[in-house]
Amino acid sequence: MELVHRTRAEDAFPRHWTRLGPDRFAVETVLPHDHPFFAPVGADRHDPLLVTEAMRQAAMLAFHAGYGVPLGYHFLMADLDYVCHSDHLVVGGLPTVIDVEVSCSELKWRGGLPVQGRVDWVVRRAGRLVATGMGATRFTSPQVYRRMRGGCAVPGVAIPRTAPVPAARAGRDRAEDVVLSESSREGVWELRVDTRHPTLFQRPNDHVPGMLLLEAARQAACLAAGEGGFVPAEGRTRFHRYAEFGSPCWIGAEILPGAAPGEARIRVTGDQDDNPVFATVLSGPLATG
């Protein structure tokens, strides 16, 4: 669990890894069929964000186990793109085993350790392609991270004071998983950060985790899509800066033209203190259940 920065076994998805080449790794990963947060979408498909999180964890495992990046280093992802093929992500009555191939390139080294690079993922299930992805990542030592974060490096606590939007409208079943509140502006919501959430906050953190921002983007896209919801089968995300605990972060969504019938393309942005935090374009089918 430590190698994928998780503290709960149910939230750590990689199981075994092997080296395929100098910068290529195979990571056997298990997608749970009954995870309370990464629940099935579209009635019977694995959540694309579950697959994305599995890819992200496979990359962390490759860097720690394959390259010797020490535990305690911080894993920073600036870009994250993915495409999931939902036809091959049907949820069964048991956990799903997938094979995640991790390829690392454009590596920059310091002190014998990689500190920056590109990660490409290819995900297969029983030999069938189920997802691909790309990420731009950096590793930093605790000392460098503290200097980079300055006075913000102290772990914080956030408990929302605003009510969540209705769970069904946000594409969720449980109110405790809703990360958005209404605002006075149409198409804009306030980010709800609850550091008590067992999956989104595995340990004390000094900023809003990227996975929470991806979830906020999905929920904003569901709200923009309207009744029936939306499944984010494809996402292209750029993270510009950290989202902090101390001031409101606003999540805006707009439907883009050009989607195929029965699908949607939705641009979601996050802004805090008049500065961009992230931007993403999500594409996928409008949900039917």
What's the total number of domains in the chain?
2
Q: Are residues 124 and 48 in the same domain?
A: yes
Q: Give dist(CA 186, CA 169) in Å, integer.
A: 15
Q: Which of 148, 183, 218 is a domain's end point?
A: 148
Q: Are residues 38 and 141 in the same domain?
A: yes
Is the entire prediction scored with pTM above 0.85?
yes
Q: Are residues 67 and 162 in the same domain?
A: no
The CATH code of the domain that includes 174 is 3.10.129.10
**What beta strand segments (E) does the chain contain?**
14-21, 24-31, 74-84, 96-110, 113-125, 128-140, 180-182, 188-191, 234-239, 249-256, 263-272, 275-285
Helix (H, G, I), strand (E, B) or coil at 237: strand
10-residue block means of pLDDT along the chain (289 residues)? 91 97 97 94 91 97 96 93 95 95 97 95 97 96 90 84 95 96 97 96 92 97 90 97 94 95 96 98 83
* pLDDT value, residue 257: 95
* pLDDT value, residue 42: 79
Q: Are residues 164 and 27 in the same domain?
A: no
* pLDDT value, residue 204: 86
Q: Are residues 125 and 210 in the same domain?
A: no
User: Rounded to the nearest 10 degrees, how much is the dihedral formed by the CA atoms of 142, 144, 145, 151?
Assistant: 110
Q: Give dist(CA 162, CA 279) in Å, integer.
A: 24
Q: Which of 129, 148, 167 is a domain's end point?
A: 148
Q: Which of 148, 180, 208 is a domain's end point?
A: 148
Closest CA to 134 of 59, 44, 33, 228: 59
Backbone angles phi, psi at 220, to 5 degrees: -65, -40
Q: Are residues 143 and 211 in the same domain?
A: no
41: Cβ–Cβ under 8 A, 6 or more apart, which residues? Answer: 47, 48, 171, 231, 287
Pairing outcome for strands 180-182 and 74-84: unpaired
Is the distance from CB of 229 to CB of 179 less than 8 angstroms? no
* pLDDT value, residue 288: 62
Q: Give dist(CA 208, CA 97) in Å, integer.
A: 30
Separation in Å, CA 232 to CA 174, 182, 204, 222, 283: 19, 21, 28, 9, 6
Give the CA angle between residues 210, 270, 234 to the nearest 5°. Answer: 65
Supply the range of the domain harboring residue 17.
2-148
* pLDDT value, residue 213: 98
